[in-house]
């Protein structure tokens, strides 16, 4: 075969291949530069200008994800114009890695840089629901003190979308759901349902089932969805700690363990959880009534350290002055520390304890006469009122 012919053929093929590469490249470029309909072209690095158009959108950064994974969500919500621009802006901001999981309020049509800056601004983050150990579902008004917000009120506050108060889930709606919704649908653990069902349509029947901790709430959820989310997560947390076997080891049901731990939470000063736990177990074993003022206060609208004779005589589902054994429900959300104290109480024969001064000093004893002397100390210090 003619050598010149072969070379000409090879050159022809090379030109053809090069032409095809250019055509395919051009088609690819046109394709990626048209990212949405209507014929409008959008470059993979196209960007908006400014800080937004005033239309607020809610954005979620899930647990365990990085800010770099957020780009497509922002594009889909028309917050940024392209993922490429957002990735570049995030890469150019040395603080971008500090963005925390949660929900954020951003505006449509923000420049990528503005979007990154907005994610780093704590004012744009939806508030966490922070449930401390000892929190109650309902508000508590302390006589001579401040009002303590309950978990229902905390949820209502955390659910608000910015300054728009109309967006807030109402406390009354949360109470209605708590009182009437199906327990299984709410995520209530199976080991608690029979006890809770006995409480009928009491909004307090879910007390103790929202475990202490910080929660990211989706403010677009309604009252039932929020309670279901919180209780389901709490049930998972309790079950993962093997609460059924932990309770069985000390002769209690899981629900009784939560209930007794809630008493520890409301009665014990810091550092004394294990001693108060021992008193509870000792009194239940005797048996003798617990006679805790915290259980009297739980049924009152206004609470204080020293309860009255009249209130202590009232028969309620919780008042351990007027009933044997534990309250019918927890009286607060018990922390893991309080639950562990019930599981591993201090060694001692104590049956009594009393706080004797305004510094929180608590004295424990196993002799009633000694306890009465300690009560006198508390009265003399003004902690207890002898006329009550």
Q: For the segment 165-192, what is each residue's pLDDT rounded down to a tens digit?
A: 777 899 999 999 999 999 999 999 999 9
Q: Does pLDDT of 22 surpass 50?
A: no
pLDDT for the residue numbered 388: 44
Query: Which 3 state secondary structure label does DSSP give 3?
Result: helix
Q: Pick the closest to residue 187 from 248, 239, 130 (CA basis).
A: 239
Instruction: Label residue 39 by pLDDT band (50, 70, 90).
Output: very low
Query: Which 3 state secondary structure label does DSSP give 124?
Result: helix
Helix (H) or strand (E) holding 58: strand 56-61
Instruction: Label residue 251 by pLDDT band (50, 70, 90).
Output: very high
Q: Does pLDDT of 281 surpass 90?
A: yes
Mean pLDDT computed over 344-366: 91
pLDDT for the residue numbered 141: 80
pLDDT for the residue numbered 151: 97
Q: Does pLDDT of 26 surpass 80?
A: no
Are 288 and 312 a contacting pair, CB within 8 Å? no
More confident residue, 381 or 331: 331
Provide the whole-model pTM. Answer: 0.78
Q: Does pLDDT of 8 surpass 80?
A: no
pLDDT for the residue numbered 385: 62
Percent of the chain at pLDDT > 90 equals: 63
Are 172 and 189 a contacting pair, CB within 8 Å? no
DSSP, residue by residue, 290-337: ---HHHHHTT-SEE-SSPPHHHHH---SS-TTTSSSS-SS-SS---HH
Instruction: Label residue 381 by pLDDT band (50, 70, 90).
Output: confident
Q: For the segment 296-307, what is each residue's pLDDT rounded down to a tens digit?
A: 999 887 777 678
pLDDT for the residue numbered 23: 44
Least confident segment among 110-114, 233-237, 379-383: 379-383
Q: For the segment 142-172, what is each residue's pLDDT rounded down to a tens digit?
A: 776 678 899 999 999 988 866 667 778 999 9
Q: Tell me how far apart the alpha carbons of residues 8 and 38 are, in angstroms, rounded to a whole number.
A: 46
Q: Please report where in the chains the tokens 């008193």 appear, as a residue.
A: 279
Mean pLDDT computed over 287-310: 87
Mean pLDDT computed over 231-250: 96
Would you kindly state where each structural domain of the chain is located, as residue ranges?
56-125, 129-240, 242-381
Q: Pick the closest to residue 73 from 92, 52, 87 (CA basis).
A: 87
Least confident segment among 43-52, 185-194, 218-227, 319-328: 43-52
**Which tokens in the block code for residue 293?**
């003022």
| Dihedral in degrees, nearest 10, Cα atoms 276, 277, 280, 285 | -130
Least confident segment among 130-139, 251-260, 291-300, 303-312: 303-312
* Residue 102 neighbours by CB distance under 10 Å: 20
pLDDT for the residue numbered 177: 97
Least confident segment among 31-35, 219-223, 354-358: 31-35
Mean pLDDT computed over 371-379: 90
Q: Tell me how far apart the alpha carbons of residues 290 and 383 are, in angstroms, rounded to a whole number.
A: 20
Query: Which 3 state secondary structure label does DSSP give 164?
Result: strand
Instruction: Label residue 387 by pLDDT band (50, 70, 90).
Output: very low
Percent of the chain at pLDDT > 70 equals: 86
Mean pLDDT computed over 320-345: 96
Q: For the segment 191-225, what is each residue's pLDDT rounded down to a tens digit?
A: 999 999 999 999 999 999 999 999 988 888 999 99
DSSP, residue by residue, 228-284: HHHHHHHHHHHHHTTHHHHHHTTT--HHHHHHHHHHHHHHPPTT-HHHHHHHHHHHH
At the topology level, CATH places domain 56-125 in Dna Ligase; domain 1 (3.30.1490)
Q: Is the peptide bond before 287 cis (omega within 30 degrees of 0)?
A: yes
**Which tokens in the block code for residue 222?**
């309604």
Are 388 and 308 a contacting pair, CB within 8 Å? yes
């Amino acid at each position: 075969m003619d050598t010149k012919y072969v070379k000409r053929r090879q050159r022809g093929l090379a030109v053809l291949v090069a032409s095809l590469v250019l055509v395919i490249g051009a088609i690819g470029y046109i394709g990626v530069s048209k990212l949405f309909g209507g014929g409008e072209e959008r470059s993979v690095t196209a960007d908006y200008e400014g800080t937004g158009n005033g239309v607020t959108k809610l954005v979620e950064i899930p647990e365990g994800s990085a800010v770099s994974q957020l780009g497509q969500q922002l594009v889909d919500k028309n917050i940024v114009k392209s993922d490429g621009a957002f990735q570049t802006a995030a890469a150019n901001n040395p603080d971008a890695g500090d963005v925390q999981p949660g929900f954020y309020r951003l505006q449509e049509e923000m420049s990528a840089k503005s979007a990154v800056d907005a994610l780093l601004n704590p004012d744009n983050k939806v508030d966490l629901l922070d449930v401390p150990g000892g929190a109650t579902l309902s508000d508590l008004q302390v006589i001579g003190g401040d009002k303590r917000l309950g978990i229902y009120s905390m949820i209502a506050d955390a659910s608000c979308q910015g300054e728009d108060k109309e967006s807030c889930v109402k406390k009354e709606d949360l109470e209605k759901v708590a009182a009437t919704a199906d327990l299984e649908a709410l995520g209530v653990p199976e080991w608690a349902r029979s006890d809770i069902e006995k409480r009928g349509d009491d909004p307090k029947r879910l007390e103790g089932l929202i475990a202490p901790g910080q929660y990211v709430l989706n403010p677009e959820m309604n009252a039932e969805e929020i309670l279901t989310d919180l209780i389901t997560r709490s049930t998972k947390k309790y079950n993962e700690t093997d609460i059924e076997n932990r309770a069985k080891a000390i002769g209690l049901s899981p629900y009784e363990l939560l209930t007794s731990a809630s008493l520890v939470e409301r009665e014990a000063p810091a550092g004394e959880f294990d001693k108060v736990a021992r008193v509870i177990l000792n009194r239940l074993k005797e048996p003798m009534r617990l006679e805790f003022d915290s259980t009297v206060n739980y049924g009152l609208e206004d609470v204080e350290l020293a309860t009255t004779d009249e209130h202590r005589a009232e028969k309620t589902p919780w008042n351990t002055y007027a009933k044997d054994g534990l309250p019918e429900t927890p009286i607060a959300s018990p922390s893991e520390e309080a639950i562990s104290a019930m599981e591993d109480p201090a060694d001692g024969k104590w049956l009594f304890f009393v706080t004797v001064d305004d510094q929180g000093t608590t004295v424990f004893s196993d002799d009633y006469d000694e306890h009465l002397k300690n009560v006198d100390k508390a009265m003399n210090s003004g902690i207890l009122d002898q006329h009550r």
